[in-house]
Amino acid sequence: MSREFIAKQYPWFLNTWDKYKFPIERADAIRYFALAHFGGIYIDLDDGCRRRLDPLLTVPAFVRSTSPSGVSNDIMGSVPGHPFFIKVLNNLKRYNRNWLVPYITIMFSTGPLFLSVILEQYNRYGVPDTGKVRVLLPADYKGNDDSFLKIAPGSSWHTDDAKFIKTLGRHIPLAVFTGFMITGLVFLMEWYLYKWCVRLNFSRMKEKVRGWFNKGRMGRPRKDSNLPAQRPLVKIEVV
């Protein structure tokens, strides 16, 4: 159904849609298209409402902040044709790149990091009131009785690389120390390799110079002479 919607309403994007490597990228993209086209509120299945969302309907668009920075794409709202979400659609093709690591590829192509970058660009030069995007703070969506939403731990799409990156994030001092150790070992290996190459080249150069010197002692013919090169005299002792 999603592909048929894209093919009918946004055929210029169909090629990018089909080339997405991960299903979660299409799941991210279709929510942007639905909000830009129909408007409304999108909420992930692992999130829920604590109270009525009517106050959020008074703003033209909203997203929620996330930790440590930026915004998330699990809860969003918009009127149809909001300029921010139109900008999001227009940048999906440009940000569809393969960063080799699945987690980074997804986050930067369609995920929260992509949305955060586009929001930063959108707000850079100021927008009119009708085009503003409200960013919900933690107090708005979790943590107290007046919060609109209940945020559950998600990340069902995370693979092993994402788990590894998150583990590094929870052990930053150890990760930094390990990084410095690896960097130091690499530089040490490069230094020993450099010294070995210098010694090897020096030995070869010394042999070449010695060969040139010995060859020069054999004598060379003058440029204006057809005589062969003179050989050094050999001293013969008579007994």
pLDDT per residue as tens digits for the range 17-57: 999 999 999 999 999 999 999 999 999 988 888 888 899 98
What is the rounded end-to-end Cα distance, in angstroms, of the chain? Answer: 112
Shared domain for 189 and 103, answered yes or no, is no
Shared domain for 24 and 133, answered yes or no, is yes
Shared domain for 81 and 149, answered yes or no, is yes
Shared domain for 124 and 62, answered yes or no, is yes
Nearest in space to 43 (alpha carbons), one of 4, 72, 8: 72
In the chain, the amino acid numbered 54 is: D
In a domain, 226, yes or no: no
The parent domain of residue 144 ranges over 2-157
**Euclidean distance between CA atoms 53 and 41, whole angstroms:** 9
Shared domain for 39 and 127, answered yes or no, is yes
pTM: 0.67
Cα angle, residue 29 at apex, residues 23 and 32 outer, rounded to 5°: 150
Shared domain for 69 and 152, answered yes or no, is yes
Is the pLDDT at 200 greater than 90? The verdict is: no
Shared domain for 129 and 26, answered yes or no, is yes
Shared domain for 49 and 104, answered yes or no, is yes
Is the pLDDT at 13 greater than 90? The verdict is: yes
Please name every residue paired with 135 in a beta bridge, in sequence order, or none if there are none: 63
Q: How many domains does the chain have?
A: 2
Is the pLDDT at 103 greater than 60? The verdict is: yes
How many CB atoms lie under 10 A from the CB of residue 168?
Answer: 14
pLDDT at 236: 60
pLDDT per residue as tens digits for the range 136-176: 988 887 777 788 888 776 565 555 554 555 555 555 666 56
Shared domain for 143 and 185, answered yes or no, is no
Shared domain for 176 and 131, answered yes or no, is no
In a domain, 238, yes or no: no
Shared domain for 146 and 98, answered yes or no, is yes
Shared domain for 64 and 94, answered yes or no, is yes
